[in-house]
């Protein structure tokens, strides 16, 4: 288990602080760009994809689908970001072996394809991990009370999918794993990614040194930025994950710019590295299926793709750990029945149309409030408070305000 920085959550005590998983943006951007290439390139990229069949490992007690109204079935995709510490994937600079999922997000597409939600699942939330199975489908991997991302180290994608299904009651249709093997290649292919470091960083634990200021980074400096954990923020892993999300958002912004879209050589190199970094289930593991998924997300529209975090509380025995809050049950019920989120669950979201790193208070699709809250009387005061909070959050996460 990775080292924990003391008090890493203390810099942000909000129970529903949003943590948008921009790995979903990366997948969306990649599949949109694929359509710009011809048959040969398409075939090459398709061969890059790695697919596995985990059906036998998910058990015979999976949640049932719920009948809902709409021209299509709802779609639930579990997106995982791998943080294996072996070889080129060692983004932490630590000596541990094995693989864990640093990032997990449920991407839900509605049956009528008018809205989508990305729900982030914090890696350090304490959960009751269910029994899962090895590749033969019969050999059990015992469950236990553990951090969310421990499931991945025990049983990979299958154990993580089963864990989510058993805890949420939602059936997963597909999964996507994104690893860091081709990370530097992706960044270099597009000519670098812009970052902003609020102050000089001298992390002697990971041997990382970064100068303050805004600039484009490539190669090792880009890798250093996404793996730095010390001397940049007060909240350790939470800050690191937030910086990773902002970095991926900046990467997406760069890929969609004229500097890349108008350069087929750059775009091809980026897609080549990205497709080599994906592992998918056998039903989604074709480029044509990814293109179809990208088209559906395009039709929904970026401003209708909302990103939130599962409601959470501090885990009382250890403030460096979290637990899902009671409202998580309400969230899963809404998603399982393909219902728009209520005000109580969506007062803070990030949408895919915003600039990387920005935040917003969204207008919920369901105007009724589960909590019966009233509208504020002093909007200007609220705006000032929001700005102050954004600045405090940026400082806590090692981001420029």
Rounded to whole angstroms, the Cα distance separating 90 from 7 reads 24
Task: Tell me yes or no: is domain 23-183+258-396 CATH 3.30.420.590.
Answer: yes
CA dist 204 and 241 (Å) reads 20
pLDDT digits (tens, 9 = 90+) for 350-359: 455 544 444 4
pLDDT at residue number 139: 93
Residue 181: what pLDDT? Answer: 62
Q: Which residues, at least 6 apart from 131, have a Cβ–Cβ distance to it below 8 Å?
A: 140, 141, 142, 143
Q: Residue 243: its pLDDT value, please? A: 77
Question: H or E segment at 248?
Answer: helix 236-255
Q: Note the pLDDT tens digit of each residue in 71-128.
A: 999 999 998 877 554 554 444 444 444 565 667 889 999 999 999 888 888 888 999 9
Residues of the chain short of pLDDT 50, as ranges, are 1-22, 85, 88-97, 350, 354-376
Query: Would you state the pLDDT for residue 360?
Result: 43
What is the structure's pLDDT at 380? 56
Residues comprising the chain, all counted: 401
E-state strands within 258-374? 278-281, 305-309, 312-315, 318-324, 350-351
Q: What's the pTM? A: 0.76
Are 224 and 208 within 8 A, CB to CB? yes
pLDDT at 219: 83
- Which of 239, 16, 32 lies closest to 120, judged by CA? 16
Rounded CA separation 297/265 (Å): 25
- pLDDT value, residue 36: 60
What is the rounded distance in angstroms from the CA atom of residue 350 to the CA atom of residue 309?
A: 10
Q: Give which of 132, 128, 179 is closest to 155, Cα–Cα.
A: 132
List the domain boundaries for the chain. Answer: 23-183+258-396
What confidence score (pLDDT) does residue 247 get?
Answer: 79
Query: Measured between alpha carbons, how far is 50 from 48 in angstroms, rounded to an integer?
Result: 7
Name the residue among 140, 136, 103 with its Cα closest to residue 120: 103
Q: What is the pLDDT of residue 264?
A: 81
pLDDT confidence of residue 17: 32
């Amino acid at each position: 288990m990775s080292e924990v920085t003391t008090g890493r959550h203390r810099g942000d005590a909000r129970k529903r602080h949003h943590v948008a998983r921009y790995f979903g943006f990366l997948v969306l951007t990649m599949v949109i760009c694929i359509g710009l290439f011809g048959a040969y390139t398409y075939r090459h990229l398709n061969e890059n994809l790695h697919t596995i069949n985990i059906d036998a490992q998910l058990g015979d007690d999976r949640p049932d689908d719920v009948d809902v109204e709409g021209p299509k079935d709802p779609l639930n995709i579990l997106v995982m970001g791998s943080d294996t510490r072996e070889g080129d994937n060692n983004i932490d600079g630590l000596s541990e072996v094995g693989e864990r999922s640093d990032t997990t997000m449920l991407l839900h597409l509605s049956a009528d394809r008018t809205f989508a939600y990305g729900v982030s699942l914090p890696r350090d939330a304490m959960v009751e991990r269910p029994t899962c199975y090895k590749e033969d489908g019969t050999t059990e991997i015992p469950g236990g009370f553990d951090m969310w991302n421990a499931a991945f180290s025990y049983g990979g994608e299958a154990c993580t999918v089963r864990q989510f299904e058993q805890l949420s009651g939602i059936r997963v249709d597909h999964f996507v794993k994104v690893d860091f093997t081709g990370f530097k290649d992706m960044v270099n292919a597009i000519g670098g990614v812009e970052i902003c470091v609020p102050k000089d960083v001298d992390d002697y634990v990971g041997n990382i040194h970064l100068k303050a200021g805004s600039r484009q980074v490539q190669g090792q400096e880009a890798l250093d930025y996404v793996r730095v954990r010390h001397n940049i923020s007060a909240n350790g892993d939470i800050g690191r994950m937030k910086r990773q999300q902002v970095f991926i958002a900046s990467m997406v912004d760069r890929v969609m710019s004229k500097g890349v879209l108008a350069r087929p050589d750059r775009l091809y190199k980026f897609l080549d590295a990205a497709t080599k970094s994906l592992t998918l289930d056998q039903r989604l593991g074709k480029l044509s299926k990814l293109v179809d998924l990208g088209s559906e997300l395009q039709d929904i529209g970026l401003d209708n793709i909302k990103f939130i975090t599962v409601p959470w509380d501090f885990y009382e025995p250890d403030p460096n750990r979290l637990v899902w809050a009671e409202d998580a049950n309400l969230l899963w019920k809404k998603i399982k029945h393909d219902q728009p989120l209520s005000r109580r669950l969506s007062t803070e979201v990030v949408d895919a149309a915003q600039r990387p790193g920005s935040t917003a208070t969204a207008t919920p699709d369901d105007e009724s409030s589960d909590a019966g809250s009233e509208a504020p009387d002093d909007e200007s005061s609220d705006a000032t408070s929001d700005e102050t909070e954004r600045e405090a959050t940026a400082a806590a996460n090692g981001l420029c305000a």
